[in-house]
Amino acid sequence: MKNLMTSNYSIAKNVFLDKIEIDDYIELSSSLTIYTQLEKIIDKPLKMILLFGKPGTGKSILLARLQNNLKHQKEIHYFPTPATSEKEFFGIVFKILTQQELPENTEVNFSALIKFCESLLGKREIIILLDEAQMYSATIMEKIRLLSDTRVVKFVIALHKTDDEDLIAKEHFQTRIWESLELINASVDEQKIYIHKKLLKHNLFDVANSLDGKELKLVHKFTEGNYRECNKLLYTIFEICEYYEEFEPHNIDVSHISKKIIEMAGLKLGYIHA
């Protein structure tokens, strides 16, 4: 007969599925600071705001939370994934601005859209949150810049920080973005809080207690404090624990997740090599 910990490992594994859900948001001091700054910046008369950081630093959950918290106070829209084409993107923007559907089989007349946007000055302020902005074409980004120049549409642009940062260096970013915020990976202590809070949120007290400081330092070493990598590693750790609990219970200590299991997970994910 399986004991309680077997089901707990299964639950714990799914706690670390890499998904964007507001209810799963874990507030840390660093992310709270960035969120508070972003809320304040949005209230300033700025046209474009840059939110950047390496993949897995929490940009998407931050934008989703911002939209969810402000949707009853401001006219705010979140684009979680880039549109498949320029036609689709500006079709959505057309609907936001005009509050009407674009007629079927037609494309947006961008000049007319700009003029309509200008007619809204002083009447509406629209905030558009663009995630994964590095995937938009230069043409779309230039038109976004022109829309922002009307001062009716304010854009928060989230993109990946790369080594060359070529997108950030483009002229329309250099001259138009007035504020920028950078998200970074978690420290050892913050990652420990992140892991324990996620587990405790699901009443997994025993599982949280089975991960101590030494093993959590190894988790941080493998993931470098990246939240996405942390989720992948913890999912794999609990998947391995789940297997041992069911098939080789004599090889697992339910009160303590060993260095060996964390290293097995690290090996499976390629953090270390045999």
Q: What is the pTM of this model?
A: 0.89
Residue 175 has pLDDT above 70, yes or no: no
- Please answer whether residues 147 and 128 qualify as being in contact, where contact means their C-beta atoms are separated by less than 8 angstroms: no
Instruction: Tokens for 175, please give them.
Output: 């001259």
How high is the pLDDT of residue 205?
Answer: 96
The predicted-structure confidence for 215-271, as pLDDT tens digits, reads as follows: 999 999 999 999 999 999 999 999 999 999 999 999 999 999 999 999 999 999 999
Top pLDDT among 271 and 166 is at 271
Residue 172 has pLDDT above 60, yes or no: no
Measured at the CA of 232, the angle between CA 168 and CA 183, to 5 degrees, comes to: 30
How far is it, in rounded angstroms, from Cα 55 to Cα 109? 35
Residue 208 has pLDDT above 60, yes or no: yes
What is the pLDDT averaged over residues 198-208? Answer: 95
How high is the pLDDT of residue 164?
Answer: 55
3-17, 86-100, 166-180 — which one is most confidently predicted on average?
Answer: 86-100
DSSP β-bridge partners for residue 79: 130
Residue 60 has pLDDT above 70, yes or no: yes
What is the pLDDT averaged over residues 153-173? Answer: 69
